Amino acid sequence: MPSNVTLTPLHGIKLVEPGDDLGEITVAALRGNGLVPKDGDVLVVAQKIVSKAEGRYVDVSTVRPSERAIALAAEVDKDPRFVEVVLSESKRVVRHRPGLLIVEHCLGFVMANAGIDHSNVAAEDGTERVLLLPVDPDGSAQALRRHLTEVFGLGIVISDSFGRPWRKGTVGVALGAAGLPAFVDLRGRPDLFGRELLVTETGFADEIAAAAGLLMGQADEAVPMVLARGLAWSAPDLPAAALVRPAEHDLFR
């Protein structure tokens, strides 16, 4: 277990546009903030800048909603075109009510509006853009890590903010991970009194994302990257996809 963990925000990062090289932006940000990553460091990267670099925009004004989207939009009081985009990114609708649409994303995440976001997305003339999640967040994390290992060796967590069942407020969670175990199975290890742990499994990457969220913020903080130092682990690397609970283990599905 680490004895001390530090979190350092990376300031001065440019507004990311489609086609930007996120690896080069990251190297410049680390150097610009006087940071030289060490083994065991983890860079937490906000999902928004990953999606922006990958061009994951949709112009809602060009979308033609289906009958299903039109009917659902009337129930949730949302733009049918926006609902169509949500459905296109989803496996199923989990719950809905006026003003709220919870779905299971194609990647398995259960979240509001399939993670599609209007906030911190600059408007352009004649368009109404929204931003989707990366197609493959673990792949995005791995690609960024491959770029950075030519210069620095560190783990990557791509984070987003989720609401949680039965609790108010959003917290950072890991959508993608590379170079670390997103999920750590502690079953079989002894507790403080020597009793064997039977059910304990930790979302290691989620814990890192949540900690970084204290510095990233949700509004105009403009801190899309945070470097975590002092972490320790011995488990093998696992992608963030390992954090998604299988349907057969979900008592509420």
How many C-beta atoms lie closer than 10 Å to residue 246's C-beta? 8
Task: Mean pLDDT check: name the lowest of 1-10, 14-23, 48-57, 78-87.
Answer: 1-10
> pLDDT tens across 129-160, in order?
999 999 999 999 999 999 998 778 799 999 99
What are φ and ψ of residue 95, in 5° steps? Answer: -150, 155
Q: Please state the pTM of the whole predicted model.
A: 0.91
Average pLDDT taken over every residue of the chain: 89
- With beta carbons less than 8 A apart as the criterion, state whether 202 and 182 touch: no
Distance CA 53, CA 176 (A): 15
**46 - beta bridge partners?**
159
- With beta carbons less than 8 A apart as the criterion, state whether 153 and 146 touch: no
